[in-house]
Structure 1
């Protein structure tokens, strides 16, 4: 059974809203920044609903290539396309009588948004190569860390789909907006991973506790959880001070008289690569080679920065997700987390 930890008034209100939405089959749109646990709230809604006996099937729309959308969601029959020898059950069929959780819904291409809208409105879908539609008994819960209204105004997200999904909106605030939850969550993770890893509990100085509360937690609950895991693995049974906290200190409130050393040893110096040689190479060929090398390195770096999240990496690079994915395919890159 899913448990969402917290002690703030905001947390209790969110739990009340989630419980209220569980009593219906209406679409839910969960909004909030990355790392706040949107899937946890989706699971909580599902487990408290009449569909709890059936599966909740998560779909990461940010990792779903444009051309594979229909096959992944709706499946196919034998002979639907080259190589389709047998029948394949799609994710919608897997979620039958249960819940389909569409994470990163903002990353869905507009052409696929139309197909999703048809599924929601008509409660039916058509597997690739099948002549007849299939009925779908699924509840739709979607999640996004983007401002979908801004995406609609920019023409990147269909207005009709936005309002169809936003029947029951649920906004999960960032951790810095509900700081009262920080001690409760942190102590929960410390106890959980102390037992899981078999590590002695750690203690914290008053200064360290103050720093944890003052920090903005840009990675939200996910970052807080990883902080608890880090100190347990690195300083089991010890007393941890500010210097031992693996925080992005430039994002924390200043703490007086604290000198923050590097948390990890500096890497060994690396020899500089020699400047590229253009001997006997035409300008056009040299330019193409260098541009390709730059593009590949740039795409790899953006994917690494955003943990393999294609939609986030595309937004950071200023490119549409479809164009960004085309560059990934050109250079044989995958969305593996960095």
Structure 2
């Protein structure tokens, strides 16, 4: 009864592995440890995970199909949580090839491995960015998502479509999770909370895009992991006409927070007033995100709970401790 977590040294991957191991699961984690952001931070996460009973790590790139297939052959995974991907909207503007390899070729390799080695359940990370230019709020899993405004968003929508076709053809049961602006301890250094905290503690201004007229459905990482754990225990059920099924869920707090209110929460947690550098909207960005999480609540009886002020405080506590600030 071994579970595979791809992207195990990443932000959500780290927290997911930790939760599963503490539940007594045997977990194999893989990660290519690329240099998109601090490799030292990834190694620090892995050091924490290495102390957990039941965890084994193997450095591997999901683009390497022969190695990935051999891993599946050796372990006979009962479940797969696929979190490895090239993240970031802005990075995709200058580095499109990386997204094609990791998010398209890499995910296709994962699907091929699932096709041949038949885990009970595949959970894979999608993104709220698939809603793109949609103006109807809140975003529902029943809404059309054919207007991506970044290559990253397009790659994540492509993942959903690839999963749908593989589930239909080969009887795979999959759950695609559209994450909404995840934050918390051990978070990614390219995300706003991390960059804002670093700048404010070093007396630098923070860049606020669209002159602050933005809102995000900020979702605390513990709520993300709770959702994954509950969904793992309840794979989607195909209807009578299908062999497999690919079901999509929004994972968000369901309460959009204005960016300037988010900054005020961080100011309160740090005890520092931010110097604000207001800038125009960036290419590939959207003004507001807001998750309708009714599908998640109906299926597993849970929806994210952590309020932004409490989550930001937890991040600041971790940041000060980790960086000895």
Instruction: Please classify the TM superposition score into its range, dividing by the shorter chain length.
Output: under 0.3
TM-score (norm 1): 0.26
Larger radius of gyration: 1
Pick the structure with more strand per residue. Answer: 2
TM-score (norm 2): 0.27
